[in-house]
Chains A and B, each alone.
Chain A
Amino acid sequence: MTFKTEPFVVNAGPQHPSTHGLFRMRFTLDGEVIQDVEPVFGYLHRGIEKLAEGLNYTQDIVFTDRMDYLTSMSNNQAYVLAVEKLAGIQVPERAEYLRVIMTELMRISSHLMTVGFLLNELGAFMTPLLYMFREREKILDLFEMVCGQRLTYNYLRIGGVSQDIPEEFLPALKRYIDSLPGFIAEYDQLLAENEILLMRTKNIGILKRETAINCSVSGPVLRASGVNWDIRKADPYSIYDRFDFDVPVGSVGDIYDRYRMRIEEMHQSIRIIKQAMAQMPSGEIQSKVPRVLRPPKGEAYGHIEAPKGELGFYLVSDGSTNPYRFHVRPSSFINLQVLRELMTGVKIADAIVIFGSIDICLGEVDR
């Protein structure tokens, strides 16, 4: 006697606790094993690229805040970098140091969230996430001190930053940076030796080196697969060539390696911030930029190592006040290309964790 069987199609999302926003995955299941996965995008599409073409260069900074809302500072940085390349604007030293400090803080904040959500998806009921939120909260307080905002900072300006830091910022930052390694080490110790965590993450969701390169994956996900590619080193922008830091590289490319990359990168970010604080000069924070910016005709691509990967802005100017073309190379979206590769053949529980380990933000995927 034979049974008639058919594949079992399950929709995870767009409303699902683990999709980090409005993302939908159509799983084709054989029991618990995923045979195929079809990602469905676009639920959060706001047309940012087109909207940005209707406003001038300075006004567009606001849109970049709202792409990946967990790493607003880094988005600002990538965009202003592209505009500065396009218009040939020099940035004062002090502003560069401020930018570095802010984007590295943003990286720590983003990685804290990633690790917290990853553990939440592993089933550690909220506890790690709330501890990570506690640390992130202090970073938000620092940002609030600088620019008065807690989520969409809009702090960087073309040719500088919007305002100088208050007097009490550097001591507060120093206190925080000194306390952070202890926190990370304590937490890492609690988690990295947990047998359940190890058996849920080791050798699962392996992203092969070749696949990662072919799919143009970037950021911690790429480095976990053993590729030493960090734009801060490979194509140094801003003043990153002045700092001494390491690029952590994984060996296996499984979920555990991706988790480790984030922990290590937080330590490296702390190193960079410490050096930046020590070297910070006084002086101007904003170079002379015309109030109405009309870059010469041409095109420019500015890219940075955002917390989630390579974030690039490709701008085409026709000589007017608005960009003729405003294109984003979103790290989250491109990292998602390996989704089917990674998820085919694993169990549902693993698929959710793999998704979490890639670390995407739907605001950036859909724009």
Chain B
Amino acid sequence: MLSTFITNTNPNILYASALPPDWPGGFWSHMLIFIVILFVFVILGVMAFIYIERRVLGRFQIRIGPNRTGPFGIIQPVADTIKILIKEDIIPQNADGLLHLLAPAIAFIPTLMIFAVIPLQNGVALVDLNIGILYIVAISSVSVVGILMAGWASNNKYALISAMRVIAQVVSYEIPLALSIIGVVLLTGNLSMNSIVESQNIPFILLQPLGFIIYFIAALAEINRTPFDLLEAESEIVAGFNIEYSGIKFALFFLTEYAEALAISAIIATIYLGGWRGPLLPPILWFLIKMVAVFILIIWVRSTLPRIRIDQVMGFAWKFLLPLALINLLITGLQVITLPDLSQWVIVAINFVVTAVLILFWSKFYRLTGDKKVEV
């Protein structure tokens, strides 16, 4: 049961503090209402992100982006959604009908579930699980099953290649991703998302610069964004796993893709950027600003970098990110044990130097280009 995980009995934390403490119906009523709130948050967030992405990408690519539908094209995502939803739902003749139908739901639901533990402001979350970050790591890798199902059930070769790629990629990047999070957990001594935010007197991006870089790169691979967008490498395998999807099923996959980006932005904002904490502005606004900032960074990467090949993607995870994540974990552990009384700003300085040295050293040590000499 869910309630067995909830050991924190502080009502202000357990129930959303945005709701009155004597909210009728207690826990389950809170659950019901908060699920609706989160669902609306995700849908609106995805729409906003699609709009932001198209506009910002347009600026990067010296063009304007959508600006016809509504003021500044702001309701373009609505128009897109309506267009997608009224398309005919096609199931290929030799497809596995059941899997084809289930795949979008299995991909989307875990992504939605990530938001259950993300604190929108102090204590405002569906549940403040005491294993929050572990729950996120666990649940976020489920949606890849949906993508594999979609790739297999479509009975399409491009889709199958895409599914094969994504399984290898996501499973590999789970490891550096989880290891870099453990660095944060060592600092807080707590897995709950709300406590992680509360313990960030200095944002963890400063205390854990290497961890942040590893997490950001691995997260890009997790959500299949450039330069790890092998999943839907348009110039190679056309559209990848969703090539045979149309109508509302395609809309669900599209929603999943952006909800994952939303989730990653929210997680980075929470565990590395100090979540809802910040001066002057209301906490929820700080949270949203940090999320959008992370997302714009993701768009920046997307508009700039070419794609990596599949074997290079795997090599990068195992030979570059994994050792660095382990070293980061070791250094953080040593710092937590041996230097507990040192000023945090000194540790910030140490960690930045260590990060720069490690990355420079490791990129000399392991060159992705290889030193293979070829005779002509």
Residues of chain A having any CB pair with chain B under 8 Å: 8-10, 16-18, 29, 31-32, 119-127, 130-131, 134, 194-200, 202-203, 206, 208-209, 225-226, 251-254, 347-350, 352
Contacts and interface: CB of A to CB of B under 8 A. Distances in A.
Contacts of A225: 376
Contact of A349 (B238, B310, B372): B310
Interface string B226-241: 1101100111111000
B335 interface: no
B52 interface: no
Given A130-B62, A196-B308, A347-B309, A352 B376 contact: no
B238 A198 contact: no
Contacts of B229: 123
B61 interface: yes
A203 B305 contact: no
Given A125-B303, A127-B303, A226-B376, A195 B368 contact: yes
19 contacts: A8-B157, A10-B158, A10-B161, A17-B235, A32-B311, A120-B235, A123-B233, A123-B307, A124-B307, A125-B303, A130-B62, A196-B227, A196-B305, A197-B306, A199-B369, A199-B370, A203-B370, A349-B236, A352-B235
B374 A203 contact: yes
B29 interface: no
A291 B48 CA distance: 65
B309 A349 contact: yes
A351 B295 CA distance: 32
| Residue from the set B57, B164, B303 with the largest chain A CB neighbour count within 10 Å | B303
* A-B residue pairs, 6 tightest by C-beta: A123-B307, A122-B306, A124-B306, A121-B235, A18-B235, A199-B369
A127 B227 contact: no
Nearest to A348: B236
Nearest to A254: B374
B316 to A, nearest CB: 10
B312 interface: yes
A349 B15 CA distance: 50
B11 to A, nearest CB: 48
B156 to A, nearest CB: 10
B17 interface: no
A104 to B, nearest CB: 25
A199 B315 CA distance: 12
B235 A123 contact: yes
Interface in B33-62: 57, 60-62
B305 A352 contact: no
Nearest to B63: A130
B238 A194 contact: no
| Residue from the set B57, B158, B161, B305 with the largest chain A CB neighbour count within 10 Å | B305
B302 A125 contact: yes
A120 B303 CA distance: 11
Nearest to A18: B235
Given A123-B233, A195-B368, 15 more contacts: A32-B310, A121-B235, A122-B306, A123-B235, A123-B306, A125-B302, A194-B305, A196-B227, A199-B312, A200-B307, A225-B376, A251-B376, A252-B374, A349-B310, A352-B236
Nearest to B228: A123
